[in-house]
Amino acid sequence: MRDDDFLRVEAHDCPMTACAAPAGSPCRTGKGKVAVQYHTARFRLVPALAKALTVPTPAIRKPGTLWLELPRPPAAGTESAGHVRIGYARASTVRQSLDTQLDALQAAGVTRVFSEKISTRATVRPELDKAVALARELRSAGVAVTLVVHEHKRLGRGPRPGRPGRAAPRRRDRAALPHRRTARLP
């Protein structure tokens, strides 16, 4: 076995329906962690490894940690279609100016800017949704995309209670707190 076997295995999508790891990413467990070894059905797609009993996941892929999708490797014989920077600017009120953000985005080499004046508390941001949709469309066409914002707070606030996939804030329930009792001395 060679040190670069994992690259040849990761050149293919994992055919296991429980895993379905895309090309460029290691296999995953049912609990959403990086698998310790590649699934047999996946590494058997590589002719040189078809008779191997196991192909371990290398330490560089951090087996046992939370699984995250990695970028797909470029297909053989294809060139990158280029790189695009998409900008997003937001002000909380109509009276606030976007000029500083727009100037910074232009200085960063942004080719297209989506801007809106909408409250931080708004749950739907149409211009941000358009920017993300364009980024996905360009990325699927093979273009490298970077979404640029002037400050991370322009994207919005943190988790809100009641939204799916978000943890609700903890509240202290007085009924759940132990009551203090004082002992009476005779």
**pLDDT at position 78:** 55
Residue type for position 70? L
**pLDDT at position 157:** 63
**pLDDT at position 154:** 67
How many CB atoms neighbour CB 25 within 10 A?
Answer: 21
Tokens 């990325």 — which residue?
139
Tell me the average confidence (pLDDT) per consecutive run of 10 residues in the chain, 186 residues long.
Answer: 81 86 88 90 87 86 85 62 86 88 89 88 88 85 84 65 50 50 53
**pLDDT at position 130:** 92
Q: What are the backbone angles phi and psi of residue 66, rounded to the nearest 5°?
A: -60, 130
Helices (H), 26-93: 40-43
Give CA–CA dist 95/84, Å, rounded.
Answer: 31
Could you tell me whether strands 83-91 and 112-117 are parallel, antiparallel, or unpaired per DSSP bridges? Answer: parallel
Q: Tokens for 121? A: 């508390």
Paired with 34 in beta bridges are 28
Tokens 């939204």 — which residue?
163
